[in-house]
Amino acid sequence: MGEELMNDMLITAENVFDIEIEGLRQVKECLGETFSQIVDVVAKCEGKVVLCSMGKSGHIAKKISATLASLGTPSFFLHPAEAQHGDLGMVTEREVVILISHSGESEEIVRLLPSLRLIGATLIAITSNQKSTLAQECEIVQLMPPIKEACALNLAPTSSTTAVLVYGDALAVAVSQRHSFSESDFALFHPAGALGKKILIRVADIMAQGGEVPLVEEGCSISEAIVEMSRKTLGVVTIVNKDRRLVGLLTDGDLRRALEKRVDMYGDIIDTIMTKNPQSITADILAAQALRMLRERSINNYPVVDEQGRVVGVSTWQMIVKAGIII
């Protein structure tokens, strides 16, 4: 590729950015009472917020719907063509329907208007044509400014669809703030995401429990504890009394130090080398909190106990990180 051609391409790309940024500035200046009214209607919606559009605007409508749902406003996308063949049955009088059409005369959209009016849903139009059929049939009309498209022909939806996309983001964020949408709410709707895992997963969900817990009673030989540690492969053994209450902990580090002191592994009891009254956690705390505590104390694991101090599990930093939790 020649240098001159490359420069021409960069100039074209920069021009696209400039045109689309200018389009966004124009839409920003149009925000006002109508936008606030739409936020109020959407925030008070008793059903779902339905986004409906065709073509390139249809893709934008899908994204707006997804963003609304992601930020706590129940929403779905209704394809205008499919709506004419039965999908309109998903809409009730409880819904708020946002119809997007640059011209306001998209045939598939206009055909839906009589049925939507009969259903009784609240209709909102986003269009650039105030005199259009769509604008005349909707209760609220967000009039978009005449934006120059970024394509050389000023025809392909580019700047106009970007403007509607950002408008939709602004709407979704504003409504979420009206609902006091919190970080924990976000996590609830994104359980597979890093934030969701951080806020929702508790130690009980990932800890070793039942037969997986390395456990011996106080007074046993050190060799018995070593066998238990090797069998359970967690690098730690919990030591309990006859009531299964935690009294000590043996880590692989404790074992190395014992070997350096030439402790009798077969003759001495575990009580002589274990860490007595070790720190523990409960199963109901967040796994992210447990990981933070492990890092602060530079240790690898915690015994997990119930309200009576009885051992119910073991949690290690490897388990927490494997679950996808990072802090």
What is the per-residue pLDDT for 65? Answer: 97
Chosen domain end from 181, 214, 240: 181
Residues 177 and 218 in one domain: no
CATH number at residue 271: 3.10.580.10
Residues 171 and 114 in one domain: yes
pLDDT-derived band at 80, boundaries 50, 70, 90: very high
Residues 35 and 152 in one domain: yes
What is the per-residue pLDDT for 44? Answer: 96
Query: Distance between CA 257 and CA 261 in Å, rounded?
Result: 6
3-class state of residue 269 by DSSP: strand
Residues 57 and 144 in one domain: yes
Q: Is residue 16 part of a domain?
A: yes
Residues 116 and 158 in one domain: yes
CB 278 within 8 A of CB 248: yes
3-class state of residue 88 by DSSP: helix
Q: Give per-residue pLDDT as tens, 65-76.
A: 999 999 999 999
Residue 184 in this model has a pLDDT that exceeds 80: no
Residues 60 and 139 in one domain: yes
Residues 225 and 85 in one domain: no
Percent of residues, the chain, with pLDDT higher than 70: 97
Chosen domain end from 181, 210, 242: 181
Q: Is residue 300 part of a domain?
A: yes
What is the per-residue pLDDT for 194? Answer: 64
Q: Is residue 94 part of a domain?
A: yes
Per the structure, the count of domains in the chain is 2
Q: What residue numbers bound the domain in which 232 lies?
A: 200-322
Q: Give per-residue pLDDT as tens, 226-278.
A: 999 999 989 899 999 999 999 999 988 888 888 888 888 888 889 888 989 99
